[in-house]
Amino acid sequence: MTYRLQEIAEILGLEPQSDDTKISGIHTLLEAGASQISFFNNPKYSDQLPHTKAAAVLIEPRYADLLPEGVIALITDEPYLKLALASKLFAHKIETNGGHPHTGEGCDIDKRVRFGKNVTLGDNVTIMAGCYLGDGVSVGSGTLLHPNVTLYHGTTIEKNCIIHSGAVIGSDGYGFAHTKTGEHVKIYQNGDVHIEDDVEIGANTTVDRAVFGTTIIRRGTKIDNLVQIAHNCDVGAHTLIVAQSGLAGSVTLGRNVIIGGQSAIAGHLHIGDFASIAGKSGVTKSLEGKKTYMGVPAIDRLEWLKIQAKMASLVKKKV
């Protein structure tokens, strides 16, 4: 679906635009191209404004002069709210009518599997009862989907993956804009999910689709049951994530990261290669690689042990 820029301005209740550029979607300031619009609502990203190649940007009037020549300012005092309203224009149309998948050789598909349109399966794919594969899903050769796995539209699963029962890949990320009177307006998640080769995902785990762009689980990663991977995360190769852990939006993990059970990582943080995070830890800032972290907030393991020893010593003195 494409809209003329002047149509979008009219739908959003913004100043009329005479520009008839065709707009095909929304993306971030640095990723948006000449057929996309973007938004700006956080001053810490102001250095990105001069470099955007978007056709137009939803922006407050006080920042409009920072845009490069040729980029149209869509003036609003609520750019994030207008983004939410605009995102609905480009949302995937949900339909119940399906189709027949394009299948490779040697596939074993239970008759109780449902497919959307334009689904592609490689060779020797096994799909068990109760699975659903939405529009445009691609599953690579040798992959196994256990019963009741759901792959939302646009999801890509590469070769030799194992997805366990009840896993949901490509569900909407948790994103809302808020009105001045406290209502919550959905930001439609128009990105996708890409699972690389040799990934295993446990039962009832969820991997959310990106707001824009792609949520990525890189090759060889093993994810336990009951794990939450939020929108726009990038999980590095050969990472291990243990049960009941959660990654908030836009977390990036290096390769061979280990995350212990019931740990949580706040949004937009980076964890370096070969870092280990002990169970029940709460990560509130980015962490260097090749170290072990513990506690809430998560700190270096040796420092955490010293603190625990000090606390135990103080308790003994009081007794």
List the domain boundaries for the chain: 3-90, 102-301
Which residues in the chain show pLDDT less than 50? none
Q: Which residues are 38's β-sheet partners?
A: 57
CATH topology of domain 102-301: UDP N-Acetylglucosamine Acyltransferase; domain 1 (2.160.10)
How much is the pLDDT for 318? 66
How much is the pLDDT for 39? 97
Task: Write down the catalytic residue from 27, 146, 164, 231.
Answer: 231
CB 244 within 8 A of CB 226: yes
How much is the pLDDT for 63? 96
- The SS3 of residue 51 is helix
CATH topology of domain 3-90: 3.40.1390
Annotation marks residue 146 as catalytic: no
Amino acid code (one letter) for 218: R
Tell the burial category of 319 from Cβ atoms under 10 Å away from its Cβ (0-12, 13-18, 19+).
Answer: exposed
Look-up of token digits 């980029």: 71
How much is the pLDDT for 172? 97
Q: How many residues does this entry show for the chain?
A: 319
Tokens describing residue 193: 């999910």
Helices (H), 177-255: none
Query: Quick check: do 3-90 and 102-301 share a fold?
Result: no
CA dihedral 183, 184, 187, 193 (to 10 degrees): -170
How much is the pLDDT for 319? 59
CB 198 within 8 A of CB 235: no
Of 149, 137, 144, nearest in space to 161 by CA: 144
